[in-house]
Amino acid sequence: MAKKRSSRSKRSPLSSLQFFGRLKWINGKPLLSTIEPYRRDLFTKALDSRDPDGFPIYNLVLAGRAKKNYKSCDLILAGLYCLLIRESPQGNDAFILANDEGQANDDLSLCKKLIYCNPDLAAEVEVLAKAIRRIDGHGAMRILPAQNAVGQHGKTAIFCGFDEIHGYRDYDLIEALQPDPSRPDALTWITSYDTIFDTPGVPLHDLKEMGKRGDDPRMLFSWYSADFCTDPAFADLPSEQRANPSMGSWPEGIRYLEQQRRRLPSSRYKRLHLNMPGAPSGSFFDQGVIDDCVVPGRHQLEPRPGIDYCAFVDMSGGSNDDAVLAIAHVEDKRIVLDLVISQAGAPPFNPRDAVARFAGYCKRYNVRRVTGDSYAGLTFQSDFSRFGISYIVSAKTASQWYEDFEVVLNGGQVELLDNAKLRQQLCTLRHSRREGRSPP
């Protein structure tokens, strides 16, 4: 029988929003008035959710957004809450790990400004060169550059925050600061925009996949990007708003992003401001070439009379992978993508419902046959035939299709839709396809 945990540190005197409600932001306004609803919801879930025994439900938070969306601010606020409000017999030491010395100084500077703006807060702590220490000696929050973190190996902390892990290629730092298993109140909070190393074995990639699977009940996954969003209130908004949930607080709003789009390389803009991964080493297609073929703002082309359209489907059993339909045509010796859609809703789904959905779009474009692979034998051939559409099994392998597409893509003979998920999957398709292996 598992040893019963101590009843101490079950309850905090104040909830997170009650604590923030007593503070001012650095401009003198009430802090709580500057925290948007989506951030309040994150704090409430991450810091206040308790199990039936009164212990925190979550011990890992992964919060991803594009730049300038208060990621670092929220990390510091969560750290201050754990430092000052959560009480633990093992102390309230906290760590925040920044990428480098400059970022560590920025995080510490923001923390100090909050303290100086709040006399009640200042009365509780002592501000040191690299730390904020409780005057009762019950804990300190140290803000360190990543290269200095390994020396903290084995230390026990109530809070450990990682500010921007998009550059991490291994688990060395995360492993060095794993939480103490004897502390049910320990919280690891990771915040970042997406990584350029979006491959298995890279911490941010693996953590995102874990969050999407939802198989860790003590992990809180909060992600806002152009191609994936965990928040239903933002999931159906345009890409820029989906990746930048705090855009409403910017004085220039969407004009700031338009400025950044003009000034930054496309790949950099999409990673920093749409929170999308960069192309990993060994990618099948060149990211810059893909970006050059995307027609900005074109999300779908309506069918036109006199155009001969063709369709390709990639069907799924409905348990894990999406089913996808693409419709295109040739115009002036260029391949023009008119439509790309998946089934309605996320997996799991009934694949036969996807067939009915796809058949409806095929009829709109006057397409009477679709091409696909031999997945599921004759099942999908029969399903499509019920809607008067022929299903043609392709004689080419996936690798051969990708190689053929690479030629016309590099030749600038393709017009792609402005579809964040399509771009992300093209950019992260790796060379293992050439060798007949499944993608990551």
pLDDT tens-place string over residues 186-211: 999 999 999 877 777 889 989 999 99
- Is the pLDDT score of 158 beyond 90? yes
| Per-residue pLDDT at 122 exceeds 60 | yes
Contact 346, 361 (CB under 8 A): no
Give the C-alpha separation, 436 to 19, whole Å. Answer: 56
The residue assigned the tokens 């965990």 is: 230
pLDDT at residue number 261: 85
Average of per-residue pLDDT across 350-370: 96
* The predicted structure's pLDDT at residue 148: 61
First to last CA, the chain: 40
pLDDT at site 436: 39
- Compute the distance between CA of residue 332 and CA of residue 351 in angstroms, rounded to an integer: 36
Nearest alpha carbon to residue 314 among 305, 325, 306: 325
Q: What is the mean pLDDT of residues 18-38?
A: 96
Q: Which residue has the higher pLDDT, 25 or 6?
A: 25
Point out the least confidently predicted range of 273-287, 318-332, 399-413. 273-287
What pLDDT sits at residue 438? Answer: 35
63-77: average pLDDT:
96
DSSP 196-213: S--STTSHHHHHHHHHHH
Q: Please report, for residues 302, 309, 366, the alpha-carbon distance to residue 305 in angstroms, rounded to integers and kept in the order given.
A: 10, 10, 9
pLDDT at 12 > cutoff 90:
no
**How long is the chain?**
440
pLDDT class for 340, splitting at 50, 70, 90? very high
Give the span between the Cα atoms of 429 and 348, in whole angstroms. Answer: 23
CA atoms within 13 A on the CB side of 210: 17
| Tokens encoding 196 | 């350029």
Q: Between 11 and 280, where is the model more confident?
A: 280
What DSSP designation does 164 have?
Answer: -
Residues in Cβ contact with 176 at an 8 Å cutoff, skipping those fewer than 6 apart: 149, 150, 152, 153
Give 138 or 439, the one with higher predicted confidence.
Answer: 138
Alpha helix segments (H runs only) across 165-276: 172-176, 203-213, 239-243, 254-263, 266-273
Cα Rg for the chain, rounded, in angstroms? 25
Those residues with Cβ within 8 angstroms of residue 37's Cβ, 6 or more apart along the chain or in another chain:
none
Give percent of the chain with pLDDT exceeding 90: 59
**Which two tokens mark 35?**
């925290």
Strands (E), 274-397: 310-314, 324-331, 334-342, 369-372, 390-393
- DSSP 3-state helix, strand, coil percentages of the chain (rounded to 5)? 35, 20, 45
> Which pLDDT belongs to residue 10?
45
Segment 334-345 shows an average pLDDT of 95
Flag whether pLDDT at 355 surpasses 90: yes
Does residue 266 carry a pLDDT above 90? no
Structure tokens at 193: 């925009």
Which of 11, 142, 35, 130 shows the shortest CA–CA distance to 80?
142
Rounded Cα distance, 392 and 381, in Å: 8
Q: Which of the two residues, 376 and 308, has the higher pLDDT score?
A: 308
Report residue 415: phi and psi, to 5°.
-115, 115
Would the pLDDT of 4 be above 50? Answer: no
pLDDT: which is higher, 120 or 430? 120
Tokens representing 439? 């993608």
Say if residues 404 and 254 touch (Cβ distance below 8 Å): no
Which pLDDT score is estimated for 194? 92
Residue 434 has pLDDT above 50, yes or no: no
Checking if the pLDDT of 108 tops 60, the result is yes
Local confidence band at 149 (pLDDT 50, 70, 90 cut-offs): low
Q: Please give the average per-residue pLDDT across 243-270, as a whole number.
A: 88
Q: Which has more pLDDT, 340 or 4?
A: 340
Mean pLDDT of 211-235: 95
Q: Residue 152 pLDDT > 60, yes or no?
A: no
96 pLDDT more than 80: yes
Which tokens sit at 127? 């501000």
| Neighbour-count burial of 159, counting CB atoms closer than 10 A to its CB (0-12 exposed, 13-18 middle, 19+ buried) | buried
Q: Please tell me the predicted confidence (pLDDT) of residue 377.
A: 67
250 in Cβ contact with 394 (< 8 Å): no
pLDDT score at 280: 57
pLDDT at position 315 is 93
Across 24-33, 258-267, 403-412, least confident range: 258-267
CA pair distance 40, 42, nearest whole angstrom: 5
Q: Measuring CA to CA, how many Å separate 257 from each of 63, 314, 407?
A: 21, 34, 33
For residue 177, pLDDT over 90 is answered with no
Q: Is 343 helix (H, G, I), strand (E, B) or coil?
A: coil
Neighbouring CB atoms inside 10 A of 19's CB total: 21
Structural domains of the chain, with CATH: 16-260 (3.40.50.300), 281-435 (3.30.420.240)
* Token pair listed for 351: 């694949």
Q: Which pLDDT value is given to residue 3?
A: 35
Predicted confidence band of residue 156 (pLDDT cuts 50, 70, 90)? confident
Joined together, the tokens standing for residue 310 give 């063709």
Q: H helices then E strands: how many in the chain?
A: 15, 14
